[in-house]
Amino acid sequence: MDHRPQSIAPDNTIEDFEVAMNRRQTNHHPAPVIDSSRRTFLYGLGASLGSVALTAMLADDAKGTANDDGPLAPKPGHFPAKAKHCIFLMMEGGPSHIDTFDPKPMLEKMHLKEFTREGEQKSAMESGKRYYVKSPFKFRKAGESGADMSDNWHHLAGVADELCFFRGCQVDSVNHPTAMYQMNCGNRFGGDPAIGSWVTYGLGSENQDLPGFLVFPEISYPQGGAANWSNGYLPAYFQGTPLRPKGSPILDLQPPADVTAGRQRMNLDLLAKLNQRHAVDRPDQEELAARMASYELAFRMQTQVPDAIDLSGEDAKTLQLYGIGEEETDSFGRKCLLARKMIEKGVRFIQLYNGTWDSHDYIERAHGNLIRGVDKPIAALIQDLKRCGLLENTLVVWCGEFGRTPDNGIRGGVAYGRDHNPNAMTIWTAGGGCNAGHTIGATDEMGMTAVEEVHHVRDFHVTLLRLLGLDDNKLTFYHAGRFKQLSQFGGQVIEKLIA
C-alpha cells in the first residue's frame, strides 16, 4: 500500500478526505474514546468503585452513549451560592495597608525612630539601619460604616458602605513570586491551579462561546508569570485566557476578508476529523481534547467577542464614570468596564492586574500615583454593577500578595518606603454575599502583624469558594496519588466575612 501523503485540493469535501484516509487505514480498528470529564468524575469516586464504573463507561462509549456536555457547561455548586461570578482585582507588588485602609496613629509618634526586627523573615531588600515611618497620607472615615481610607481614595469613599474590609489575613512568603503563587493558587511554589481554574472546574461557565476564566494582565506579566492563572494539574480547559492590554485584546479575532464562515467551518470539521483519528490511539491525552475544544471555542468567539470588547457602544457618561479617556485612569478603566461587560455575557471568573505596588522608597509618590490610577475605575465598577443589578451576584475582591512593614525601605530615612510584610495586609470584598459595611480583624498598633480574626490565606480562599457555592473539601481533583484542593489540606470558613 502506498503510505505517502495524498494531496487534497482546497475545494474537496470532507467526504473526499474520508475516502482518501480510508484507503490509507484499511486495517485500522479504532478504540473508543473516553470522555475526559467523565473519567475525572470517576477518579473522584475512589479507586475501587471507579474501576468498576470505568468498565461500564467503556461499554457505553463503545455504543456511542458518552456524555456530550462540554467541560465548561454550567454545573450546580455544592450548596446555594451567594455569588455567581467573581471579579478579582490583583494589586501586584504588595499595597501598603498602613497607607491605604489601616491607619496607625502610633507611627506619628515613632516616626524616624530606629526600627529593629528579630526572628522575622527578611526580604532581600532589607539592609542597613531602618526607621519607623509614618504614613505620608491623612486618613478619614468614609460612608455610614465609617470605613478607614487614606484621603486620596476620592471615588472609592463614595461606595465605602458596599465594602467589607478584612485585616486578619496572613501568607507564608516574604518574596513576590512565591507570595503571588500562594494568593492566586494556594501553593507558594507554583504549578497548582489558579482560583479561577478551580471555580470554573467546579461551576463551569454560563457562556459556552467565551472562556470561563479571563485575565487582564499588564503589558509586563506579574512576578511568576502566566503560572498565576494556570490550570496546573486540572485539565487544560480550565486555564485562564489572558487578554492583551494594548491593541485588540485577542489577536486574529477577525478572519481574512476572503475566508468565509462556511469555509472556516469546513476547515475546522476537517481538522477535527484529523485530531479525532489521532486521539483514538491516545485516549488519555487531555491536552489534545482541550486543543480541539479551543479551536471550536475560537470559532464561536468570533461572533461573541467583538461586541463584548467594543466600548464604542457605551455612552459618554459611562466612559467618563470609568475614567476612560483620562491619562491616569484610561488603562485600568477599560479593564474594569470590560470586566462588567464580560460578567453580563456570563463569564464566570475575571482577574484584573494592576502593578506594581512594590514601594520600597518614595511611597508617597508611588502609592499616590497608583491609587489615582485605580480609584475612579474601581468605584465605577462597583457603582455600575449595582446599577445593572449584577453586584448582588458578583463577588469583587481587592488584594495584593502581602502587606508592608511600618519601617522605611532602603534609603536610610530620606525617601520613605516600606518592606514586604506577610504578617499583615488588608483585603476588601464587595457584592456577592459579603458582609458589606464592616471591618473584620485588626493589626497591632504599628501595623506589623494581624492580631484579631487572624487567618491564613487558605481560610480566605475557602471563604471565597463558599460564597460561590463551593465546598473546598468536595472540590477536589485526583492527582499524583491523592485528592488535591485549593486550600492544599483544608481550611476554615471566615464566617464574619459573609453576610
Q: What is the pLDDT of residues 347-389, one digit of tens each?
A: 999 999 998 999 988 999 999 999 999 999 999 999 999 999 9
Residue pointed to by grid coordinates 491536552: 287
All three cell numbers of 50, joined, read 471507579
- Give dist(CA 33, CA 442) in Å, integer: 55
Distances (CA, A) of 2 to 21, 40, 70: 12, 40, 38
Q: What is the mean pLDDT of residues 407-426?
A: 81
Q: What is the average pLDDT score of the chain?
A: 82
Which segment of 18-32, 68-82, 190-204, 323-337 scores lowest on mean pLDDT?
18-32
Higher pLDDT, 487 or 412: 487
Per-residue confidence (pLDDT) for residue 173, from 0 to 100: 95
Per-residue confidence (pLDDT) for residue 118, from 0 to 100: 62
- For residue 449, the SS3 value is coil
Is the pLDDT at 343 greater than 80? The verdict is yes
Per-residue confidence (pLDDT) for residue 276, from 0 to 100: 75
What residues does each domain of the chain span?
34-68, 85-251+314-497
What are the b/e assignments for 342-370, b being 16+ CB within 10 Å? bbebbbbbbbbbbbbbbbbbbbbebbbeb
All three cell numbers of 8, joined, read 487534497
CA angle 371, 377, 380 (to 5 degrees): 130
Higher pLDDT, 269 or 22: 269
Per-residue confidence (pLDDT) for residue 368, from 0 to 100: 97
Higher pLDDT, 132 or 36: 132
Is the pLDDT at 453 greater than 70? The verdict is yes
Strands 169-170 and 455-456: parallel
* pLDDT tens digits for range 43-68: 333 333 333 333 333 333 433 333 45
How does DSSP classify residue 31?
A: P
Per-residue confidence (pLDDT) for residue 89, from 0 to 100: 98
In this prediction the pTM is 0.80
The domain defined by 85-251+314-497 folds into: Alkaline Phosphatase, subunit A (3.40.720)
Q: What is the 3-state secondary structure (H, E, C) of 170-238?
A: ECCCCCHHHHHHHHHHCCCCCCCCCHHHHHHHHHCCCCCCCCCEEEECCCCCCCCHHHHHCCCCCCHHH
Q: What is the mean pLDDT of residues 163-175?
A: 97
Asked whether the beta carbons of 475 and 462 are under 8 A apart, the reply is no
Q: What is the mean pLDDT of residues 23-38?
A: 37
Q: What is the mean pLDDT of residues 216-238?
A: 94
* pLDDT tens digits for range 290-310: 666 666 666 566 566 666 677
- Indicate the pLDDT class of residue 14, thresholds 50, 70 and 90: very low
Q: What is the mean pLDDT of residues 170-187?
A: 97
Q: What is the mean pLDDT of residues 253-258?
A: 62
Is the pLDDT at 18 greater than 80? The verdict is no
- Give dist(CA 351, CA 251) in Å, integer: 19
